[in-house]
A and B are shown apart, each in its own frame.
Chain A
């Protein structure tokens, strides 16, 4: 039989063997990622040295020597500073964060009414999370509840003054509440508004195009600080006596306008990245302008610019700190304001407070960033090379 003539060919497959020991396990990983070349080795050693130099001291400061509870500055000050700690002591003053925690979250929001803030936050999370997780059904109803019903519920709950709820003026808001309201409203309005502006800028109609271009360029050309400053210092002088705009509203409008202009440019980038064929293909099917945009162009364009959009969101979230210019206190503002409380003034207080604020900001920004990566992977339809 012919097969026998070719018997030098193996009749069965060689069993797969484990990779050689130098190609697997920790050593291989280390060699590949840490010590692949001389430069890598030097950088790795340098990195390890920095960690060894910095980390133990930090851990000691932040955890071992830290003070977690206490009534006033004495727990965070050494004897020569007028406190109870031995001289030479240095540790984080988490007692300060602990004592001021409610204020960092709610600002000066009336104590007895804080359940309203909690309720609003719970409602928001309950509506947002199912919308973010693709498996959950009834996305349409969910979106209607979140974008059309929830804003009114939140407004009445937070501001009050109706349905027997006590009125809480926005001057008493502060802390994370202000940060979240500013950034969530900013994000929710700037995306649709930015898309409309981007479409307007690429419109064939000269009047609309001109308006959009002027808006985007003017708003993008002026720093947010300037707008907030003008709105708070100059605007009141030109108004009739005694008439004042709510400061919070001023900040909100400023932030929304800003984010919209930036968003418009991000979206425009996506629109321009679409091959001409997509537009022409849609036209050849006889789709109207809005059908073309809704069904063909925007779904592809927005997917392309997810990183840019999330970048703008994160920038917006952090920019909310600028409202300190107009005497409002977001999370960072209220932390810094509390440094001036003489009962807590100590050498350790500012560092502890700022670390806490930084950590809270990081949690939110990191969360947004991870979700955007997840969305990019999920929506990836093979254009990636």
Chain B
């Protein structure tokens, strides 16, 4: 059913893409005075409301970064919460200009749904968690043959799970739920032996378990889940703006430019920093994108560099405490790498 719906939505979307895609998104956004940004309806660390109801999180901050690039003001974002099915239509129909909703970049989504992924802002991977008290002695996912596995339906997670067990010739018994809450509750109640979802989700789940110490995350990562922002196909200028916003945040971290020191850094003698911050005479790093030349100053001043956004929302400064891992800079053993800003 889900596939059918996605298929219908996809084909309808393709029919539409010719007419929608030709519009200049940047002009629309400027006319509206805000970036309409599709986010998750609620995912710990990525997009969730704080006590005052403001959207907080890794994806929400990316939306703010794009707004800062366009308007020089990180607050000019209209957050549109979207669920798993709705997200694609919302982008296609023009209800949102940008989808930053921890969406996995896959070939079929990139081609058949009529939009472009602008990069990978978070490298995730699917893992398993088990209750070590209940299943002592299990320390590898390869020992899970015959296990009942809790999984959320309609996601790539479910398909990866099937692939993994088939590839390793193991039996398993999927216990399928619609939402994150129900899946968590079922796992906590002991209805299944193992729980599988993206690792970022496993960290969020641990926060809600009664006895987190009893549960262990198995070492196997069974899938690649590159999560990235997406825009409509057919508007290369907007695609470039969103893509380079992400690169600029990574570049800023690499150069040690932070939210706190960005103003100071404008006077730096380092030619690369001067270039990135648009402080060179006759700088064109903004005008080539249709933006102000100091747009990276606004992005970093508005939300911080990639590392700051990561640590604040999902890293060590947040309750989730996710390690940087693959999302570390390429210079420090990760794979976050930005092409040169010049």
Query: Which residues of A are at the interface with B, using a C-beta cutoff of 8 A?
Result: 72-73, 80-82, 90, 99-100, 102-103, 106-108, 111, 169, 171, 174, 232-234, 236-239, 241-242, 244, 324-327, 329, 334, 336-343, 345-347, 349-350
Contacts and interface: CB of A to CB of B under 8 A. Distances in A.
A342 B320 contact: yes
A52 B96 CA distance: 55
B171 interface: no
22 contacts: A73-B319, A82-B207, A102-B53, A103-B51, A103-B53, A106-B53, A108-B49, A111-B52, A232-B86, A236-B89, A236-B92, A238-B12, A338-B42, A338-B48, A339-B181, A339-B208, A340-B44, A342-B45, A342-B319, A347-B208, A349-B208, A350-B185
A108 B45 CA distance: 19
A108 B94 contact: no
Given A241-B94, A325-B83, A233 B52 contact: no
Contacts of A242: 20, 23, 28, 94
B319 A244 contact: no
Interface in B12-67: 12-13, 16, 19-20, 23, 28, 41-45, 48-54, 56
Contacts of B319: 72-73, 82, 342-343, 345
Interface residues of B, dominant DSSP: mixed
B325 interface: no
Contact of A244 (B23, B49, B52, B93): B93
Contact of B49 (A324, A325, A341): A341
A232 B92 CA distance: 13
A81 B49 contact: no
A237 B208 contact: no
B4 interface: no
Contacts of B212: 80-82
Contacts of A171: 78, 80
Contacts of A341: 44, 48-51, 56
B9 interface: yes
A342 B48 contact: yes
B220 interface: no
A349 B319 CA distance: 15
Interface residues of B, number: 52
A345 B93 contact: no
A81 B209 CA distance: 8
Contacts of A72: 319
A327 B50 contact: no
B167 interface: no
Interface string B91-103: 0111100000000
A326 B89 CA distance: 12
Contacts of A326: 86
B81 interface: yes
Given A81-B210, A81-B212, A341-B51, 7 more contacts: A73-B207, A241-B20, A242-B20, A327-B80, A327-B81, A338-B48, A339-B181
Nearest to B314: A342
Contacts of A107: 53
B204 interface: yes
Contacts of A80: 211-213
B50 A343 contact: yes
Interface residues of A, dominant DSSP: helix
A237 B92 contact: yes
A261 to B, nearest CB: 25
| B28, B53, B181 interface centre (most CB from chain A within 10 Å) | B53
A106 B45 CA distance: 23
B287 to A, nearest CB: 27
B86 A327 contact: yes
Interface of B: 5, 8-9, 12-13, 16, 19-20, 23, 28, 41-45, 48-54, 56, 78, 80-83, 85-86, 89-90, 92-95, 180-181, 185, 188, 204, 207-213, 314, 318-320
A350 B181 contact: yes
Contacts of A244: 93-95
Nearest to B15: A237
B94 A233 contact: no
B243 to A, nearest CB: 23
Given A80-B212, A233-B5, A327-B41, A342 B207 contact: yes
A340 B90 contact: no
- Which 8 interchain pairs have the tightest Cβ spacing? A236-B93, A340-B42, A345-B207, A337-B42, A340-B48, A108-B53, A342-B44, A347-B210
Contacts of B28: 242
Contacts of A236: 89-90, 92-93, 95
B13 A237 contact: yes
Contacts of B53: 102-103, 106-108, 174
A108 B48 CA distance: 12
Nearest to B210: A347
Contacts of A343: 50-51, 319
B83 A346 contact: no
Nearest to B205: A345
A342 B185 CA distance: 17
Contact of A347 (B45, B78, B80, B209): B209
Contacts of B210: 81, 90, 347
A313 B294 CA distance: 57
A171 to B, nearest CB: 7
Nearest to A240: B19
A172 B319 CA distance: 27
Contacts of B23: 241-242
Given A340-B48, A341-B49, A241 B16 contact: yes
B213 A346 contact: no
A237 B17 CA distance: 10
A237 B52 contact: no
B179 to A, nearest CB: 9
B341 to A, nearest CB: 32
B50 A346 contact: no
Contact of A237 (B9, B80, B314, B318): B9
B95 A233 contact: no
Contacts of A334: 49
B193 to A, nearest CB: 20
Nearest to B85: A233
A233 B51 contact: no
A327 B80 CA distance: 8
Given A233-B5, A237-B93, A340 B43 contact: yes
B81 A237 contact: no
Contacts of B89: 232-234, 236-237
